[in-house]
């Protein structure tokens, strides 16, 4: 934990120092090793034990230990380091507690290993990163492209103006023309409708929609297809899922104690609905960070906004952590890391322990942000096994139920009182005149009265327990507003200066907001992020949307816009898109149209040798990339083609109660993935992701991820050949073909191709498949024995579902 970024840093240094120079390779190597040694063994000691008094802020005895020159120059007692007589260096004498030096550090002696490390470091030449001060080095580049406010570039002029349909095309074509590349021709309509239907809805096009598009001769036929798809509920189910990747959505905690996020589905449904409603991204962002602090006109809005804050709550937590303070800071770290990646493409995690080595995020920035989250209530209790907080979401029904219940309780109570009064009166009647009444008349009740009273009381107890449940949703609320001290090297046991709540200050753009003393500051954070002048928010989103359409971002590292991230292939296009996003009031659907209606998007995947030579990796978008369907698309289209997909939307998915264990000490897997509903409505169980998805590169739901990979491994093939899901769907497709009426094999084959591939088979394909069908019939009858005979059509249908043409989109 302490320095989880240092490996990256060491490599960075290695790269820096191994660049060709005048010195020989060995010198470079030695220098690199010394620097690595400094970074791993010396810098932590200097920062933790020396710098507070001998650093940039204070220079006790005139001594500063944060750069090489100051060490050699020394302070009032002379040089701290004597390179010609290393062991007599003042700094070593001090840490060794030699009698002729002041013992340092004052709070206690360093370990022998630390002292030895200091000596080794000095002996090896006192390596310091060049031009470096110990605090934050090497200097992060404040001029890094992504920290500058986006420009609003002119749309470039191009020679082939006819190709330009949206502004996107001008930027793309202008680069292609500079390289003498001709864009790929427009894909045919069958390819296009298959491409865009999967892209916008995650489902294959229906044969009737294909035919309608092919027959539509109006000039805006393509726009109409896009509009229809954007208006479908399937759109939100598919694009909402993209966002859930970024929100590291899961229906269970994962990590150490895998308990159920029983109400997480409300956040999932909120996301789907927000995409379908085209909620402006600025509002979507603000609701997720600070929905509880936003005004709400009505109960539904209020509820939606509270559910949205589930974004902050959904992270994996080590809830059996024994050290509660550490747990709290770990949770905040996870929240910061996620919101940093999701909204800014920044890795804040590094700054927990040290100033970010590459990006302008200091430890103070980190703890300034941490103050916002420590002032936010994310947890109900930190006592292991800890519980996350959930906002109550009372409904008229739940309120009515509660009122009815309260009435029943009151009625029951008064019934008991009346009963006691009557029984007491009877007892008093039996008492002799003038005798003092016993304190508890109940002791004198006859047996049947006692029994009846007990029954009444038991009834009350039972009623009181049956308090009607008020619905709740994972989310956050406000806690006591407070600021956080710097945790030195990330440790909550070593605290430094308290940092007032703030946002990172080194990014160019909107000024740092004033933080309210009566609120956590999440609202101010959200407003700062969605300020049109913010350099990152709109760019990061525009790039994400580009990535999800085109398979690779204009900035390939979608979640890292820092100096270690990739540079944009088309910086002006990215800025132009960011500006249009603002102009369109953060409408994501408007952004889709800019991209999908372009000629760039409509290119075919074909590539000429000349283009391949000039743009091997398609960095210039000289064609469309062939794409393997995502895990969810594979599953949903297998089921849809087999006629088995249930399109019911939304709602809970778990069989385990909220906070119940998915796995305790046992390994019994109670999670069911055999629901026929769309993939987004299957449970997402951390530590045990549905194997069908996991094999197809579903991302780890513990970490924000806007850039899924796509690998090809043999176990995927086993799954397509042997899983019940695929075989059931194949049987389903065979049944569908049979149910559609008495037709010959050729007609059935044609229909199967329409359903699976959106086209008819070529004559040679048909011939080949029908020959296979005959062979399959023969083999089945030859091998038929103990087992139930297999339907040869279902064998053929499985071939279609498992084939490349089904799994890949052009």
Residues 271-330 that bind another protein (CB under 8 A): 316, 318, 320-323, 330
> Can residue 616 be called a binding residue for another protein (CB under 8 A)?
yes
> Least distance from C-beta 559 to another protein, angstroms?
6
Choose between 384 and 593: whose C-beta lies nearer to another protein: 384
Interface with another protein in residues 679-698 (CB under 8 A)? 687-689, 691, 694-695, 697
Among 271, 702, 752, 755, contact with another protein (rule: CB under 8 A): 702
The reply on whether position 415 binds another protein by CB under 8 A is: no
Residue 533 Cβ vs another protein, minimum distance, rounded to whole Å = 25
Q: Binders of another protein among 173-232, rule CB under 8 A?
A: none
* Site for another protein contains 714 (CB under 8 A): yes
As measured in angstroms, the least distance from the Cβ of 633 to another protein is 15
d(CA 298, CA 230): 27
Residue from 383, 425, 612, 747 that binds another protein (CB under 8 A)? 612
Is 63 or 555 the residue whose CB approaches another protein more closely? 555
Q: Which of 669, 740, 743, 746: binder of another protein (CB under 8 A)?
A: 669
Let me know if 273 is exposed, middle or buried by CB neighbors in 10 A (0-12, 13-18, 19+).
Answer: middle
Contact 520, 376 (CB under 8 A): yes
- Does 666 contact another protein by CB under 8 A? yes
Q: Which of residues 10-69 bind another protein (CB under 8 A)?
A: 10-11, 40
Name which of residues 769 to 808 contact another protein (CB under 8 A).
Answer: 769, 772, 775-776, 779-780, 782-783, 787, 790, 795-796, 798-800, 802-805, 807-808
Task: Tell me, rounded to whole angstroms, the distance of Cα 456 from its chain centroid.
Answer: 53
Least spacing, CB of residue 669 vs another protein, in Å? 6
Q: Which of 668, 674, 739, 744 binds another protein (CB under 8 A)?
A: 668
Residue whose tokens read 């090497």: 138
Using CB under 8 A, which of 606, 646, 740, 774 touches another protein? 606
Give min distance, CB of 273 to another protein, in A: 29
- C-alpha to C-alpha distance for 386 and 384, rounded to whole angstroms: 4
Residues 6+ apart with CB under 8 A from 712: 628
| Residue 62 structure tokens | 């005139």
Are 734 and 791 contacting, i.e. CB atoms less than 8 angstroms apart? yes
The least distance separating another protein from the CB of residue 697, rounded to whole angstroms, comes to 6
Q: Binding of another protein at residue 400 (CB under 8 A)? A: no
664 is a contact residue toward another protein (CB under 8 A): yes
Cβ closest to another protein, residue 49 vs residue 623: 623
- Compare residues 116 and 775 and give the one whose CB is closer to another protein: 775
Q: Is 126 in the site for another protein (CB under 8 A)?
A: no
Assess contact for 200 and 238: CB atoms under 8 A. Answer: yes
Q: Which residues contact 283 (CB under 8 A, 6 or more apart)?
A: 586
Angle at 532 between CA 527 and CA 538, to 5 degrees: 95
Crossing angle between the packed helical segments 233-246 and 537-550, to the nearest 10 degrees = 120
The DSSP annotation for 146-163 comes to GGSPPP-PPPPP-S-GGG
Taking CA 546 as the corner, what is the angle to CA 544 and CA 549, rounded to the nearest 5 degrees? 110
Q: Which is nearer to another protein, 530 or 558 (CB)?
A: 558
> Could you write out the three-class secondary structure of 587-622?
CHHHHHHHHHCCCCCCECCCCCHHHHHHCCCCCCCC
> At its nearest, how many Å lie between another protein and the CB of residue 618?
10
766 binds another protein (CB under 8 A): no
To the nearest whole angstrom, how small is the minimum distance from the Cβ of residue 730 to another protein? 10
Choose one: 204-212, 294-302, 646-654, 661-669; the region binding another protein (CB under 8 A): 661-669
- Considering only residues 3, 221, 296, 401, which one is a binding residue for another protein as defined by CB under 8 A? 3
Q: Whats the size of the chain, residue-wise?
A: 810
Determine the 3-state secondary structure of 258 from DSSP.
Answer: strand
Query: 565, 701, 563, 577: which is closest to 632 by C-alpha?
Result: 701
3-state SS, residue 498: strand
Nearest Cα residue to 32 out of 16, 14, 20, 15: 14
Closer by beta carbon to another protein, 296 or else 703: 703
Stretch that binds another protein, among 72-80, 212-220, 399-407, 667-675 (CB under 8 A): 667-675
- Which parts of 525-584 interact with another protein (CB under 8 A)? 557, 559-560, 562, 564-565
221-280 positions binding another protein, by CB under 8 A: 254-258
Angle, helices 233-246 vs 264-276, to 10°: value is 120
Sign of the torsion formed by the C-alpha atoms of 327, 328, 329 and 330: positive
Q: Which residue shows structure tokens 């946002």?
A: 503
């Amino acid at each position: 934990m302490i320095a989880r970024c240092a490996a990256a840093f060491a490599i960075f240094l290695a790269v820096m120092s191994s660049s060709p120079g005048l010195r020989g390779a060995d010198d470079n190597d030695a220098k690199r090793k010394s620097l690595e040694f400094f970074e791993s063994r010396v810098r932590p000691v200097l920062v933790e034990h020396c710098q507070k008094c001998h650093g940039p802020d204070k220079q006790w005895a005139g001594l500063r230990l944060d750069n090489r020159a100051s060490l050699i120059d020394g302070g009032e007692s002379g040089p701290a380091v004597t390179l010609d007589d290393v062991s007599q260096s003042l700094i070593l004498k001090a840490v060794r507690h030699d009698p002729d030096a002041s013992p340092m550090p004052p709070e206690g002696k360093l370990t022998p290993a630390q002292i030895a490390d200091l000596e080794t470091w000095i002996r090896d030449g006192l390596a310091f990163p060049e031009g470096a001060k110990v605090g934050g080095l090497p200097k992060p580049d404040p001029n890094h492209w992504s920290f500058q406010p986006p420009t609003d570039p002119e749309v470039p002029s191009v020679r082939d103006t006819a190709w330009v349909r949206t502004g996107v095309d001008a930027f793309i074509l202008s680069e292609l023309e500079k390289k003498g590349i001709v864009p790929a021709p427009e894909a045919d309509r069958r390819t296009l409708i298959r491409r865009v239907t999967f892209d916008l809805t995650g489902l294959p096009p229906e044969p009737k929609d294909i035919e309608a598009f092919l027959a539509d001769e109006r000039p805006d036929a393509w726009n109409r297809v896009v509009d229809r798809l954007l208006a479908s509920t399937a759109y939100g189910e598919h694009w909402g899922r993209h966002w859930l990747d970024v929100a590291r959505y899961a229906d269970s905690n994962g990590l150490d104690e895998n308990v159920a996020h029983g109400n997480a589905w409300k956040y999932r449904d909120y996301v789907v609905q927000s995409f379908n409603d085209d909620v402006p991204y600025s509002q979507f962002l603000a609701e997720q960070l600070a929905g509880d602090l936003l005004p709400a006109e009505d109960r539904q809005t209020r509820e939606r906004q509270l559910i949205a804050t589930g974004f902050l709550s959904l992270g994996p937590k080590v809830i059996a952590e024994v050290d509660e303070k550490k747990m709290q800071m770990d949770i905040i770290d996870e929240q910061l890391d996620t919101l940093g990646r999701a909204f800014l493409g920044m890795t804040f995690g590094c700054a927990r322990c040290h100033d970010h080595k590459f990006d302008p995020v200091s430890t103070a920035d980190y703890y300034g942000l941490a103050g916002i989250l420590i002032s936010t209530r994310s947890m109900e209790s930190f006592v292991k096994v800890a519980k996350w907080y959930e906002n109550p979401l009372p409904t008229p029904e739940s309120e009515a139920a509660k009122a009815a219940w309260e009435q029943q309780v009151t009625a029951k109570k008064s019934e008991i009182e009346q009963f006691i009064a009557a029984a007491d009166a009877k007892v008093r009647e039996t008492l002799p005149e003038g005798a003092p009444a016993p304190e508890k008349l109940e002791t004198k009740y006859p047996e049947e009265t006692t029994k009846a009273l007990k029954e009444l009381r038991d009834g009350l107890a039972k009623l009181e327990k049956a308090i009607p449940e008020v619905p709740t949703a994972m989310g956050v609320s406000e806690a006591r507003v407070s600021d956080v001290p710097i945790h030195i090297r990330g440790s909550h046991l070593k605290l430094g200066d308290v940092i007032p709540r703030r946002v990172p200050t080194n990014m160019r753009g909107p000024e740092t907001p004033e933080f309210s003393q009566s609120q956590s500051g999440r609202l101010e954070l959200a407003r700062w992020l969605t300020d049109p002048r913010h350099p990152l928010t709109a760019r990061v989103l525009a790039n994400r949307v580009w990535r999800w359409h085109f398979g690779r971002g204009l900035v390939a590292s979608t979640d890292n816009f820092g100096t270690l991230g990739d540079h944009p292939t088309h910086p002006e296009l990215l800025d132009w898109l960011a500006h249009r996003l603002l102009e369109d009031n953060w409408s994501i659907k408007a952004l889709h149209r800019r991209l999908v209606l372009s000629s760039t998007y409509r290119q075919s995947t074909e590539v000429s040798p000349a283009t391949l030579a000039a743009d091997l990796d398609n960095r210039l978008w000289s064609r469309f990339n062939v794409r393997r369907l995502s895990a969810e698309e594979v599953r949903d289209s297998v089921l849809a083609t087999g006629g088995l997909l249930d399109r019911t939307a939304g709602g809970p998915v778990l069989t385990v109660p909220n906070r119940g264990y998915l796995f305790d000490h046992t390994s019994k897997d109670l999670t069911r993935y055999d629901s026929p509903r769309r993939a987004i409505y299957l449970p997402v169980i951390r530590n045990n992701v549905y194997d069908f998805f996991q094999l197809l590169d579903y991302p780890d739901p513990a970490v924000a991820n806007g850039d899924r990979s796509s690998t090809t491994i043999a176990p995927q093939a086993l799954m397509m050949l042997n899983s019940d899901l695929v075989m059931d769907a194949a049987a389903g497709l065979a049944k569908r073909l049979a149910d559609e009426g008495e037709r010959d094999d050729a007609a059935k084959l044609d229909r199967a191709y329409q359903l699976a591939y959106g086209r008819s088979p070529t004559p040679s394909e048909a011939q080949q498949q029908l020959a296979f069908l005959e062979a399959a019939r023969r083999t089945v009858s030859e091998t038929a024995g103990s087992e139930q005979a297999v339907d040869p059509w279902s064998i053929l249908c499985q071939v279609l579902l498992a084939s490349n043409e089904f799994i890949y989109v052009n």
